[in-house]
Amino acid sequence: MEIGANTVGRPATGRELAIDPDRGLIEGVPYRPSPNADERPGGVVPDLIVLHGISLPPAEFGGPWIDALFSNTLDPTAHPSFREAAALRVSAHVLLRRDGALTQYVPFHQRAWHAGTSSYRGRPRCNDFSIGIELEGADEVPYEAVQYAVLSRLIRSLLEAYPGLSRDRIAGHADIAPGRKTDPGPAFDWHHLMRLLEEDR
């Protein structure tokens, strides 16, 4: 059962996703600034993309709850699973909904608080050098075709805007925080995403 109304814009299908390099924002995508962000360490530019899965309540989709989580306004009494989540101070650069709609919360040149305790190829503190993309989903629930289509466009646009990024530096939250995190989960089709990225070349 879905709780609440979906509060994002139109799906980002069928159009290019242009990134304004000065503002670090996707043009034409709703921007809801999260307080859970700060500046990257001096001289650090993003060179890793981290994919996450998120649903509030767990395995339920739609509603205003992810927006509320990233804005620190999640009501802990609205659902039993929110009691602990409401105390978190987290964000992501972008959320990709089940219908392909995007919302941005943190400019790409800033540090979003999405990875937590993490390490990539021996390098700790992934928040410092990564871009975090949240996919509305759950570990065991197949992601939607439109999510893969929009995700591949978004990644292509990020690769063009930020030369430090590359196709071989895309990881899941589970990869950078093994044993602590499992998302985007076994339902996420990495091979399909990579095929789409190859087709986009």
In the block, tokens 């979003």 appear at 112
Is residue 1 one of the residues assigned to a domain?
A: no
Verify whether residue 27 is a known catalytic residue.
no
Is residue 6 one of the residues assigned to a domain?
A: no
Contact 57, 81 (CB under 8 A): yes
Is residue 72 one of the residues assigned to a domain?
A: no
Q: Average pLDDT in the 163-170 region?
A: 96
Is residue 154 one of the residues assigned to a domain?
A: yes
Q: Average pLDDT in the 35-42 region?
A: 98
Q: Is the pLDDT of residue 136 over 50?
A: yes
Residue 16 — pLDDT band, cuts 50, 70, 90? Answer: confident
Is residue 171 one of the residues assigned to a domain?
A: yes
Residues 6+ apart with CB under 8 A from 151: 51, 96, 133, 135, 193, 196
Q: What is the pLDDT of residue 200?
A: 62
For 84-101, the pLDDT digits (tens) are: 999 999 999 999 999 999
Residue 11 — pLDDT band, cuts 50, 70, 90? Answer: low
Is residue 84 one of the residues assigned to a domain?
A: no
**Catalytic entry in 27, 60, 134, 140:** 134
Q: Is the pLDDT of residue 8 over 80?
A: no
Q: How many domains does the chain have?
A: 1
pLDDT over 70, % of the chain: 92
Q: What's the CATH code of the domain at 178?
A: 3.40.80.10
Q: Residue 112: phi, psi to the nearest 5?
A: -90, 155
Is residue 116 one of the residues assigned to a domain?
A: yes
Is residue 51 one of the residues assigned to a domain?
A: yes
Q: Is the pLDDT of residue 20 over 50?
A: yes
Q: Is the pLDDT of residue 12 over 80?
A: no
Closest CA to 113 of 126, 95, 96: 126
**Structural domain harbouring 46:** 19-61+91-199
